[in-house]
Structure 1
Amino acid sequence: MCRHLAYVGPPLSLADLLSSPAHGLFTQSWAPRRQRHGTVNADGFGVGWYAEGDPVPARYRRAGPIWADRSFADVARVTSSRAVLAAVRSATSGMTPEESAAAPYAHGPWLFSHNGRVEGWPDALEILAASLPPARLLTLEAQVDSALLWALVLERLTAGDPAADALARVAADVRSVTGGRLNFLLTNGTSIAATAAGDTLCWRTVPGGVIVASEPFDDGPGWHDVPDNSVLTATNSHVDIRPIPVPGKEQTPS
């Protein structure tokens, strides 16, 4: 449904991460190599990044394909950051094509992306939506499943859950009421959390940093696939992967 990527580490240009690699997100917008659902990602794109000394990220989002935005090519060439989250979108039929539906979604220091879809949207998530404060629902950025999933994740973060736990909890909660593909990607500018739940996910360390992505952006060594039904936490010095808890089953502490 989409392809996404997150990076933390020494400053790199957006072009180095997205358009310069032979199979970066720019190329994945029309020729993904591992995408299981859909063939192109031309229904919008977005990039979020952090300026030095500012914990609140900037965003650049558009409703059209990334290859058609010549202005972004200039922005990417001259903009560098220590942390980036970007996505190219393949919209689910019946969901809004507007710019507001393009990831990343943002709140405070957080950037979030969802690669996948919720089956039976929107009725299937009525129970989970009812658990949210009205103010959270009223401030949804778009009327799409990804925006509601972000609201559920943000509610867990606000309650004090660590990032990986918030993602795993929401993935498990959604699976308790319906099916779907729930690959999430989340960063606060210093670490990355992600789920592999129905689609591909991989990671690779780079000097002083780490990249987490839907698929490798080159054919170089060091890419690792994340097992399905897993949650990942990554910093510039450490990567941890564990299973997503199964709804209704007690998990043994590790």
Structure 2
Amino acid sequence: MLDAIGAAPAGLSATEVSRRTGMPLSTAHRLVQTLAARGGLERQPDGRYRAGLRLWEVAASAPRASGLRDTARPFLEDLYEATQQNVQLAVLDSGAALVVEHFATRVAVPTASRIGGRLPLHASGVGQVLLAFAPREEQDAVLAGSAGALHRPDDHLAEVLRRVLAGIRRTGVAVAARTMPLPALAVAAPVVGRGGQVVAALAVVLPTEETSGPAYVPAVVATARGVSLQLAGAPMTLPGRAATGAARRVDGGTARGR
């Protein structure tokens, strides 16, 4: 039921909830009324229900997102101030890149991402980074199209994506152009947690006509390395030799240049 309501920004009536979820109408009425009474849903004047602030309050306390956001936010703010472009932080969740932090200016390229929004693993910078370091079975599911990410099984597309992911693992950086849901160019890098595993990805998202995407790599990598060091509490190396080298080039200097 929450999935159905979350996918409908304008809200749903109890009847629409029943129809979309397949649950009996009486059950849908009872559940939406119970959640509304507790603040989980908010009833609109037109009788539709939308997600309530109580859900946001509970979700904001989720340890995986809240601890990561608190640690990463100062670094992301610096990257945002330096680039004046969209900055994203995302984690792998249920076959998608779940955006847990997002900064943007009025003049930045429009994107479909928002905090709590989901981006496709195969067609976004943060998604490709997360997929590159995901368990093999999850990679295989996306590559085979069974997770819906490729929309249809396609051996050629799967092979192209497999080479892209191998390059990301080798360099520790993704420079990804996409046309859906909106045109954009993303420069992304992995964030490593205390156990040495990739726990998130961060990216700068630029207009597709931006030709200096690679020039953002050192700043993005340095930001990811800073978050990783803070999470780990000790010096460590990000995946990819090139990423490590890029991070060293901006260490002791500034991540504010392009």
Which bin holds the TM-score, normalised by the shorter protein?
A: under 0.3
- Structure showing the higher helix proportion among its residues: 2
Kindly name which structure, 1 or 2, has the bigger radius of gyration based on alpha carbons: 2
Q: TM-score, normalised on structure 2?
A: 0.25
More strand by share: 1
For CA contacts below 8 A with separation 6 or more, give which structure has more relative contact order.
Answer: 1
